[in-house]
Amino acid sequence: MQTVTVYSTKNCPYCRMAKAFLDRQGVSYTSIDVGEDEAEARKMIALSGQRGVPVITVDDEVIVGFDSQRLNELFGKTGAGTRCDVLIAGAGPAGLTAAVYCARKLLKTVVVSENIGGQALQSWAIENYMGFRLITGEDLMKSFEEQARSQDIRLEIDGIAAIARTENGFLVTTESGLSFTATCVILALGKRPRKLDVLGEERFIGRGISICSTCDGPLFKGKRVAVVGGGNSALQTAIEMSGIASSVSLITRKGIRADETYQKTLAQKANITVHENTKVTGLKGDTFLTGAIITDKEGREQTIDLDGIFVEIGWIPNTEFLGDFLELNDLKEIIVDQDCHTSMPGIFAAGDVTSVKGKQIIIAAGHGAQAALEAYECVMRAKSEGKQE
């Protein structure tokens, strides 16, 4: 029997998903909270060379992050291709809402996603989602997930590798080799964090640079950190990290653009230093990050000592695999009409991956419902015309 250990933190959604995957596959494992146990945190860092979670060890193999492809290779169950009415790519607010609406219409529904919750998972606190005065992104998406799992929905933790048109619908293949044929497809793939684009950045990912503050924040207790960005997410992260780290440097290229409520809270934090009209131009360190070079708009350089940098400078649509299969805008977002139709009949899109201007959880969820209703009509037409296999 394999010996499996999951190193995690309490508020890390990707840690929770890794454990949920292992639970579903019947894999026994030991769970260690490195946010609470500093000795185990040091052990994890020594094993993996990472100051980021989750880290999973399988015997002598070390898996960094929630690597759904590798976990599927080790523990997943393969099978023949599956036919469904609707395949939904993505399990954030748009994808999970679409799944619930499809299931309630009694459509055979499959959801394929690398994670459950999408971008919403990385929100420390959400104060503008109706029904909740204040809720974390993780807790909100737990509620979404619980409702989705109460329906007859197949959920695969996997990535989409390719999609192709067939005579009676679409063929979707996943990164782990699963295949699905579907009458209609809903793309709710969301976005991924934008990187700093600084020389040496890749070397320090997980070794001081983090794109998930809710996951890795506890590992920087009492340390010096920076947050890069000037929007709501950046200020929210800086405010939360001010209660964990010894000092926080907020570095923003174009000034602060966040809502006034965040700016007022920021002004009350004595251990946050703001560097406006400034960008990160260099990184320092050997195995781990030890500092950064920042340059202001006048070209003046300054070196600041740091143990960690949290990057909050925007998002990139997860549309690379589509190529020219669908029409995209200049931002590589999927162009949709008012009813979530894409340029390909039978394929719908919803959420932040689309050209819709508003990028909010409540808007994504609404469009997920709308896409599902359009997909239902699509499936019903196909059945009436005898086009389903």
Kindly name the residue from 84, 184, 212, 340 that is annotated as catalytic.
Answer: 212
Kindly name the residue from 102, 184, 215, 340 that is annotated as catalytic.
Answer: 215
DSSP string, 324-374: TSS-B-TTSPBP--TTSB-SSTTEEE-STTBS-S---HHHHHHHHHHHHHH
Distance CA 36, CA 193 (A): 27
Answer whether 55's CB lies under 8 Å from 7's CB.
yes
Catalytic-residue membership of 102: no
Catalytic-residue membership of 216: yes
**Of the candidates 92, 126, 96, 125, the residue with the CA atom closest to the CA atom of residue 109:** 96
What does the block give as tokens for 383?
């059945």
Catalytic-residue membership of 215: yes
Distance CA 220, CA 198 (A): 22
Distance CA 134, CA 235 (A): 17
Annotated catalytic sites, by residue? 212, 215-216
